Structure 1
Amino acid sequence: MSKVQKSTLYYPDRAPVRLQLEVDLQSSPEDVWKALLDYPSWPKWFPNVKSCFETTPLPKVADNNPSYPLGSTRRIDIGGVVFDEEIIAYDDGSSLNDKERQPKVWAFSVYETSQPILNCAVERVVLEPLYKENDESGTTVVGTRVRYAGGMDVVWYLPFLKPILKRNMNQAWKQGLERLDQYISMQQNK
């Protein structure tokens, strides 16, 4: 495995290669959050993901769902390239009064990869509730706005990878989030 420099939650805002994507889903923020953190389900909805699993034993919380403390790690195999990642931000909004209406933030930094292609890579996902106004009851949550930001720096001898990575990552996340919405709907209809 090749070492990759870890960085912060804000690296995607200043990285040499920056990706930003915003997708509205019909699924609730709680359902999207739960599905994103169900690592073994990723191959079912995210393009080219062969496997995804936590590599840090995780404590269980309510409903036997895992809790993802800062510093916990996962391994993801995307098209045969393996990435080891560390959780650098995790806020499910539970510290606030109205959990359903609070943004949820999840970010990870790559710290090793099976191919020496990256100097640094951080991805950040923010989930925000989408509202519909009702005359009688105020507002209702009707979906989720997913804001994805990724930042990376490729090794100096592979500059041609920058536009390819940017295009492929944007396509993968857009397609993956659309498939995620379908996956959640199918799981609920079982």
Structure 2
Amino acid sequence: MPKLTVHPPEWIDSAPAVAESSVAIDAPPAAVWARIADHESWPEWFTDLKKVERVGTGVGVGSGRKVGIALITIDEEFTAWTENEHFAFAVTKTPVPVLTALVESVRIEETEAGCTVTYRQGVAGRTGFGWLAKRIAAQLQGQTGDALQNLKRLVEA
């Protein structure tokens, strides 16, 4: 599987293609964090994912997970982790040969009514495939928007 460049979450601001989705959730940040930090349960709300499993015994920066999407599996490494506020990860290996980087960041910000969850993704493609990176980012934005709505329903139930 091709290896991708691991960037910090701030790289998303300058990524060639960016996807961003947000949702207001009527629940405290800790309740949302409990759901999103439970990696194995992601397919319950991020329905495009078929399976998520942690790699190793640790949590936080440097830990990893394997994610099954359709017929492929990708490897991810966490690059940021602040409980109840933020985590980010970079895809380290994927069978998609046109990608050179894919970084994702999830922020939870407390509001008067609960919190806002913002999910951002930065995508870079190999030379000549920038157009495809933009299409991938657009697809990710739609999938993530749907996933955040599902997360909202689950957490608020």
TM-score, normalised with respect to structure 2: 0.91
Cross-structure match for 1:177: 148
Cross-structure match for 1:38: 38
Structure 1: stretches of 5+ with no match in the other structure: 59-67, 94-103, 132-141
Cross-structure match for 1:80: 71
Match of 1:111 among 70, 88, 92: 92
Please state whether the residue corresponding to 1:10 is helix, strand or coil. helix
Q: 1:146 is matched by which residue type in structure 2?
A: V
**Distance in 1 between residues matched to 2:41 and 2:129, nearest whole Å:** 32
Q: CA deviation at 1:43?
A: 1.1
> Max radius of gyration: which structure?
1
Structure 2: stretches of 5+ with no match in the other structure: none
**Percentage identity across aligned positions?**
26
Equivalenced residue count is 157
**Distance in 2 between residues matched to 1:8 and 1:54, nearest whole Å:** 20
**Distance in 2 between residues matched to 1:30 and 1:111, nearest whole Å:** 28
TM-score, normalised with respect to structure 1: 0.77
Change in 2 beyond 3 A, CA 1:16/1:159: closer
1:25/1:178 contact within 8 Å kept:
no
Please state whether the residue corresponding to 2:136 is helix, strand or coil. helix
Taking the TM superposition and a 5 Å limit, the aligned residue runs for 1:58-97 are: 58=58, 68-92=59-83
Q: 1:13 is matched by which residue type in structure 2?
A: D
